[in-house]
Structure 1
Amino acid sequence: MSGPQAKIYAGERLRRLRTGRRLTQARLAGLLELSPSYLNQIERDQRPLPREVLDRLCVLLEVAPGYFAESDELRRLGDLREALADPLPGARPAVEPAEAHAALRAAPAVAARFLALHRAYRALEEEHRALRARLADDGVADPASRLPYDEVQDWVQSRHNYFPTLDEAAEQLFEAGGFTPQTLRLDLERHLAARHSVVVAETLRDGPDSGVLWRLDRATGRLLLAEEMAPESRLFYLAHVVGLLEQGETIDRMAAGAPFSGPDARALARVGLANSYAGALMLPYRQFRAAARELRHDVERLQRRFGASFEQVCHRLSTLQRPGEEGVPFYFLKMDVAGNVSKRSSASRFHFALFGGACPLWNIHQAFAQPGRVLVQLARMPDGVTYLCMARTVGGGGGYLSPPREGAVGLGCEVAHADQLVYAAGLALDDRQAPVPIGPGCRACERAECRHRAMPPVGHRLDVGTAERGLLPYRIVRGGQAPG
């Protein structure tokens, strides 16, 4: 026996159908054997459309039952809610789902026009970002990003992901306190108690499920950490709290002095700076750099030596830019299975995609098909520079009803530094045919011959001829000129 059918509210569609047939509300009500007031309530979505009335309408007005189905409306509602969630300048407060649904029902033509305008806006935004990326490659100053998160990412990149004041302060604390990687958790807990009267007193049993990983109760001097947190994450957040308590004024001053457009970006920057301090405290500069050289940058062995996660080690390797004591200039990236980039920084010339997803030929995408396995690739960018790229999935934990947060990290350097990495073993570094030709993303990639291209690049005309057809339905015209 089937369950109850969902109620159908189709007032606007019924009104448009009625007026298109040049029927008055009173006339249609008579044909349907309804009172005009009842039909008026249906058209105003104050009442659902009864099944028997729906059947009579379909016969009387010669339309298929699917005309009144909700599927098309639900699709448009999803599009509208996604567009309304776009963090446009001044897009506050958030639009409630019920409001979006009411707007779609009351004015579908206006909603359709809004969605068309939003699609045009997004296309222009993508073109703008691609042009920004090309200008940055040419050494032209990059204007401020539109989104706070992008502003912070760009600012971190402009500093090569290295903040000497915080990095040196963390290293000094590690050395002056006599901390060691093997005892660091107890060292930090003792330091918090002695220096700040903060005690790690108990755990948050519903932490990960509620979205809370730690909570500092300054009134009682208690630091609460989520019960199911991985040991390396627990260690990181202990270091993060130390950074907030001891370097808070420095962090505020650095964020306030950065060229951000508003408070959201400054708040995100403060979190990022505290995270930088935490990473430097867990993996102190000179000791970590020496170990990285000794172990030939073997991330898994560095994990075990310092009690850190794979991601933490990769990120720290990309920050070793102290003047006169630089490490290998790495790029670092973290991405989810949908291609969303949550972290990116580069001490090399590597060009990240700022929009539209990363190149599908890059090995970071393949990592999700082989979880937990380190993948190595030689890749060449359109500018001719070859990189040694390493990628692996990260994440874990969770439970049957709370899936883990999974992602993949990519770490790489120019092939000129490959001899310092264990990941170069067995690779034909001198073979010009070995590297995979990748790019920064289709919109910004200049490779005209790529058979994996999903969309044309910005700034070039297209030749869409009819005499022949290749793998792509167009050819990219160099220099922006169409063929004569």
Structure 2
Amino acid sequence: MTRKLLMGPALRRLREKNHLSQSAFAERLGLSFSYICQLENNQRPVTASVLLKLTQVFQVDLSDFSEDRNRRLLGELDAIFRDQGLVGDASVSPADIDRMVHTVPALAETLVALYQKQLHLQEELQQLVDRFYGDSQQAAQAPFPHEAARDFFNRHDNYFDALDRQAEQLAQDWALQPGRRAAALREQLQQAHGIEVVAGEANTLELRQYDARRRRLVLKPQLGDAQQAFQMATQLCFLAHGDLLDQACADETALADAQTRTLARQGLAHYFAGALLLPYGEFLQAARSMRYDVEQLQRRFQVSFESVCHRLSTLQRSGARGVPMYLIRVDQAGNVSKRQSANSLHFARHGGTCPLWHVFEAFAQPGQILTQVAEMPDGTRYFGIARSVQRGGGSFHAPRKRFAFGIGCELAQARELVYADGWDLQQPRAITPIGPGCRVCPRTDCVQRAFPPAGKPLHNDDFSESLVSYRLEG
């Protein structure tokens, strides 16, 4: 059924803009006074003939009365009232939002504009804090749950000793072997917890679904041995080692929010699963002997490129540390979905990351490992590798996830990585100047800059132009 077009407030704004009374407005349109009153009070819908008269008499744009505009407003207001960081637990129903859009659209537009201004100011403030204090200082705004959970892992250098040691001990007790882990974990879940592991539907996005009532764990059938083992280990952590998850989260006031705590617990369970598949001592020994060759480690442990990169970024056990590495995962749009650093590399929390980083070039050379020596504005140099990866697929219509991963270390430790062979690390043949992100980067001569730095006045000049998009005063 077609929705009736009610546009009383828009008609009232048009009449007042032209300084007309209701009777004069009705006369100009050739309509009765009572009909105009009913239209302005949303008691009658606007017909096509009335819209035609409006365009002929007042030369208005019909898009001003479009339902698409109302739908956009409805969507934007719905997002605003879902933002608990801004409005708390305010209970605003969809019906309330609908009435606001159709009754006082000017107020709805103003509210959306104010919300966008608020987000902009929050970002500007955090960028200034990042610029002057680094990522150890937070602006006085509540972060989003995923940001708070990510900060939680960074504060712990992406290493959780109790979980890691428990996983390592279980891997030894159960004699888990690459290529045969899934069968062993399936047996453990059945014998120790009475949980049956079964294959689910092929055409589903669900990787794992646990039915507590039926004691049944359903896995996506296309998963390989390591992927099945990872999902079973994740569920096992929730079922058998919830105390370790609670212990890891116990003293974290930043995890008081339920959503943030849920994300942190999920990340910790994934950490446990990765540690079970790649036991710390065995993996560290192999990484050192293979000089951190990711592809060799893939074959040795029969896991994905992504899994090896994750594990290399966690080798921070006291007395048995690996090379401290950063880890970053980006998509083709430049969104950073994972970032951890066990060394001094600073990631900006806002405004994206540096486009000169080779992790973005990896999409143009799928499957190839790219190397780079990069220098941050403070002069610290890093040696890193990057490669694109793809997950999903299996059929023409199956969805696929594409990411690029980057890992690396400070240049002083690069010789321990096989990828540095052939590089003169004392005088590298090519050094790429990068930054933490355009809005917080102090470099004034970068031709790739997408945004001016926060808090810096721009140079005004009508008589010259430069490859640098934004030139600064002084």
Fold conserved between structures, TM > 0.5: yes
The answer to whether 1:339 aligns with 2:313 is no
Per-residue CA deviation, residues 344-403 of structure 1 (Å, 9 max, x unaligned), is 111011111211111111122222233333222221111111212222222332455552
After superposition, the Cα gap between the structure-2 partners of 1:341 and 1:145, relative to the gap in structure 1 and judged at 3 Å, is farther
**Equivalent residue for 1:150, pick from 142, 147, 152:** 147
Taking the TM superposition and a 5 Å limit, the aligned residue runs for 1:275-424 are: 275-398=270-393, 399-424=395-420
Check the 8 A contact 1:256/1:266 in 2, yes or no. Answer: no
Q: Decide which moves more: 99-108 or 53-62.
A: 99-108
Q: Secondary structure at the match of 2:406?
A: strand
Amino acid at match of 1:284: P
- Unaligned 5+ residue runs, structure 2? none
SS, match of residue 351 in structure 2: coil
CA-CA distance at 1:275 after TM superposition? 1.1
Please give the residue correspondences for 1:445-464 in structure 2 after superposition, counting only pairs within 5 Å. 445-464=441-460
> Aligned runs of 1:9-408 on 2, under 5 Å?
10-36=7-33, 38-44=35-41, 48-69=45-66, 80=77, 83-84=80-81, 86-92=83-89, 100=97, 102-137=99-134, 146-208=143-205, 212-260=206-254, 261-398=256-393, 399-408=395-404
Q: How much has 1:251 moved relative to structure 2?
A: 0.8
SS at match of 1:257: coil
CA distance in 2, matches of 1:185, 1:94: 46
Deviation at 1:325, TM superposition (A): 0.7
Distance 1:373 1:42, change over 3 A: farther
SS of the residue corresponding to residue 339 of structure 1 reads coil
In structure 1, list runs of 5 or more residues that go unmatched. 478-482
- 1:429 partnered with 2:435: no
Q: Which amino acid aligns with 1:244?
A: F
Q: Is the 8 A contact 1:336 1:408 kept in 2?
A: yes
SS in 2 for 1:461: coil
CA distance in 2 between counterparts of 1:377 and 1:251 reads: 37
Q: TM-score, normalised by structure 2?
A: 0.89
TM-score in terms of structure 1 length: 0.87
**Superposed CA RMSD:** 3.0
Distance 2:419 2:187 in 1: 38
Q: Following TM superposition, by how much is the alpha carbon of 1:214 offset from its aligned partner in structure 2, in angstroms?
A: 1.5
Partners of 1:401 and 1:35 in 2: CA distance? 58
Query: Are the structure 2 counterparts of residues 126 and 5 from structure 1 closer, same or farther at C-alpha, using a change threshold of 3 Å?
Result: same
Question: Which one-letter code corresponds to 2:253 in the other structure?
Answer: P
3-state DSSP class of the match of 2:197?
A: coil
Q: Give secondary structure in 2 for the equivalent of 1:475.
A: coil
Change over 3 Å in CA distance of 1:319–1:456 after alignment to 2: same
% identical aligned pairs: 40
**Contact 1:144–1:151 (8 Å) recurs in 2:** no
* AA partner of residue 201 (structure 1): V
Deviates more, 1:64-73 or 1:125-134: 64-73
Q: Which amino acid aligns with 2:234?
A: H
Deviations 1:311-341 (A, max 9, x none): 1111111000011110111101122222222
The aligned amino acid for 2:109 is: A
Deviation at 1:277, TM superposition (A): 0.6
- Cα deviation for residue 36 of structure 1 reads 4.7
1:28/1:270 Cα in 2 relative to 1: closer, same or farther (>3 Å)? Answer: same
* 1:176-233 superposed Cα distances (whole Å, 9 cap, x missing partner): 222212321111111112222212134244541xxx3222223332211123345433
Q: Secondary structure at the match of 1:49?
A: coil
